[in-house]
Amino acid sequence: MRILIIGAGKVGINLAMKMAEKKHKVSLVEKNESICDKIERTDNLDIICGDGCDPLILELAGIKAADVVASVTGDDEDNLVIAQLAKLQPNRPRVVSIINNPKNEWLYRKNWGVDAAESPASIVARLIEEDIDKKI
Amino acid sequence: MQIVIMGCGRVGSQLANLLFMEGHKVSIIDLDIKSFERLGKNFKGDKIVGFGYDREVLIKAGIEKADAFASVSPGDNRNIIGALVASREFKVPIVVARIYDPVRAIAYNKLGIVTISPTKWGANKIKELICHQDINTQLSLGNGEVEIIEVEASYGISGYKSDKINVPGEIMVISITRLGKSFIPVVGTVINEGDLLHIAVASTAIPQLKRILGF
């Protein structure tokens, strides 16, 4: 599969490495140049330094040929904008995303271009809550 | 009308006051309570502190009954998401978003949001002031792509037929004012010296129009 990942934070980098290891063709877009420079180069991984909310950068990163777009930046508004732009493409790639602020969860839906989304903050909070309960 | 504004910066505060003074019910949202100082003492609309596309904040601002929504925060993406929340989730009939990046503005127009790009509009306007001081713009449409200009017919073009000035897709004489009365020219209407012409012109065709008018 061709996978386009936007945002090289902890989630983006881990996801990119994992997918590249599994022989998928991965493009990773990151706007911060110093972060781009630090990413470990491996096979099947292209790094594009630029703003993933810019339609021209997305095109350069190969959005028109992508099977999946993962919008995993640290900003919900950026993730949602990327999802909209992805669904404007004729190939209509599958869009997966992360929810940064659980308050914004209600927007991560199909009519907003998002096919699936996870909320790390809610997931971790739930797991920690379970850990707390165990001690009692 | 009931109007919700997201972002109380220079544009937001001025817009809020303009609308308030015209008698509209205005509520304005900003993250920073200090930004409301820009509104001045005379503004009596609602001021809501919070995130511009937070559902509860928007409901508190009266979005459910709003007739119009404008997002004018400093962030392009925040503005577009705010505008989409207003139109998609709350069915606000009139939604406008300010987008600085003109390339993005085009993409977002496809999402059905009316966008205004002050960057492009401002650049067009400044260029016009530098290059076409003799052209008197009455109205600038879109982001300045089409202008309606006013010009007095000089001796040089009197006797011209108004349709001879027209260039398909670029220049069109839309009104002639003669002896205090305006009318829309037809094919063959002859221009007299001293007629006041209103001409719609593509901004790219202004040099061509100037040549035709003999400037």
Give ipTM to 2 decimals: 0.84
Cβ distance A26 to A46 under 8 Å? yes
In CATH, B2-116 is 3.40.50.720 = yes
pLDDT digits (tens, 9 = 90+) for A95-114: 999 999 999 999 999 999 99
Contacts of residue B17, Cβ cutoff 8 Å, sequence gap at least 6? B39, B40, B42, B43
What average pLDDT is seen over chain B?
90
With an 8 Å Cβ cutoff, is A55 touching chain B?
Answer: yes
Token representation of residue A4: 């386009």
**Where are chain B's structural domains?**
2-116, 124-213
Q: Which residues of B are less than 8 Å from A111 in CB distance?
A: 88
With an 8 Å Cβ cutoff, is B59 touching chain A?
Answer: no
Chain A nearest C-alpha distance from B7 (Å): 15
| Chain B residue whose CA is closest to A79 | B77
| DSSP secondary structure code for residue A101 in this structure | S
Interface contacts A/B by beta carbons within 8 Å: 44
Please give the share of chain B, as a percent, with pLDDT higher than 90. 59
Yes or no, beta carbons of B81 and A81 under 8 Å apart: yes
Q: Summarize the confidence of residues B168-197 as an average pLDDT.
A: 91
pTM of structure: 0.76
Q: Which residues of A are less than 8 Å from B83 in CB distance?
A: none
pLDDT digits (tens, 9 = 90+) for A4-58: 999 999 999 999 999 999 999 999 999 999 999 999 889 999 999 999 999 899 9
Torsion of CA B54, B57, B62, B65, to 10 degrees: 20
Residue A71 clears pLDDT 80, i.e. is over it = yes
With an 8 Å Cβ cutoff, is B80 touching chain A?
Answer: yes
Q: Summarize the confidence of residues B123-139 as an average pLDDT.
A: 78
Partner residue facing B55 (CB), from A53, A81, A106:
A106
Which has the closest alpha carbon to B4: B71, B74, B54?
B71
Chain A nearest C-alpha distance from B31 (Å): 15
pLDDT-derived band at B101 (thresholds 50, 70, 90) equals confident
**3-class SS letters over A62-95:** CHHHCCEEEECCCCHHHHHHHHHHHHCCCCCCEE
Distance of alpha carbon A74 from alpha carbon A77, whole angstroms: 9
Architecture category of domain A2-135 in CATH: 3-Layer(aba) Sandwich (3.40)
pLDDT digits (tens, 9 = 90+) for B11-55: 999 999 999 999 999 999 999 999 999 999 999 999 999 988 899
Residue B137 clears pLDDT 90, i.e. is over it = no
pLDDT-derived band at B95 (thresholds 50, 70, 90) equals very high
With an 8 Å Cβ cutoff, is B81 touching chain A?
Answer: yes
The fold of the B124-213 domain, in CATH, is: Alpha-Beta Plaits (3.30.70)
Q: Which helix (H) or strand (E) holds A120?
A: helix A120-135
Whose tokens are 């008197």? That residue is: B136
